[in-house]
A = this chain, B = another copy of it.
Amino acid sequence: MDLATVIGLVLSLGLVAAAIVTGGSPVVFISVPSLLIVVGGTIGATMVNYPLDKILGTVGVLKKTFFSSLESPADIIEKFMDYANRARREGILSLEPVIKQLDDFYLRKGLQLTVDGLEPQTIQEILETEIAYLEARHEVGAEISATLGMFAPAMGMIGTVIGLVQMLQTMDDPSSIGPAMAVALITTFYGAVLANLVFNPMAGKLKTRSKEEVLLKEMVMQGILSISKGENPRIIEEKLSSFLPPRDRKQEVG
């Protein structure tokens, strides 16, 4: 559970709601037709922009990145120290039974290729392709969210222009101008809130999560390649701990 997302949404949307309620007569801010044109138009434009399977896939990516707990880098280092020591003592084939029990698809594939005795160069090519396309799939989620955040204010603006044109045509009664403009501005309000408090920040989080996951995959790849080259466990530790901020590292003995 990503608490920051929940707290952030509650905080920003709550403050907007409070500003509306304390200003009196919040009824004007609730308009189903305005919501329909902004949300529906935004979704429509996004459907033209992306293939259906990508849009549906985003729901999965969204859920996964908001709930899944990534492994800690320190655990990865420890795991690889263990593999490396075992491979050194008992030979690379002793990793076979370990592989069978692994959940992580990527790690399992990499170690299996190592045990099968492929060249480190070939393993690196395969694992880098995996990372590149994992990244591409995650980026689509962030891009779709950013696209929603780009079309939402545009739809809000289109809704407001429609409202203004309708109002300007019938300016007979000056007292009706104010309320009509208020109504016209509601789509602008919806578009701005959806873009700035929901879609754009979520696109940002998807991007950050993707970077974190790619970082872990790169650590795992580095570890697998080191084992495949039969490198010294101490060097493996040095290499992998370079990925971490100094304060998260095991006390390194100088």
Contacts and interface: CB of A to CB of B under 8 A. Distances in A.
A155 interface: yes
Interface residues of A, number: 112
B196 A45 contact: yes
Nearest to A100: B254
Interface in A69-126: 99-100, 102, 105, 108-109, 112-113, 118, 122, 125-126
A161 B29 CA distance: 11
Contacts of A168: 178-179, 181-182, 185
A165 to B, nearest CB: 5
Question: Copies of this chain, how many?
Answer: 5
A32 B54 CA distance: 38
A62 to B, nearest CB: 12
Nearest to A232: B118
Interface string A176-190: 011101100110110
Given A15-B36, A19-B162, A169-B178, 18 more contacts: A8-B49, A11-B47, A15-B37, A16-B37, A16-B158, A18-B33, A23-B163, A29-B165, A45-B196, A46-B201, A49-B204, A108-B254, A133-B215, A133-B245, A154-B196, A158-B189, A169-B179, A171-B175
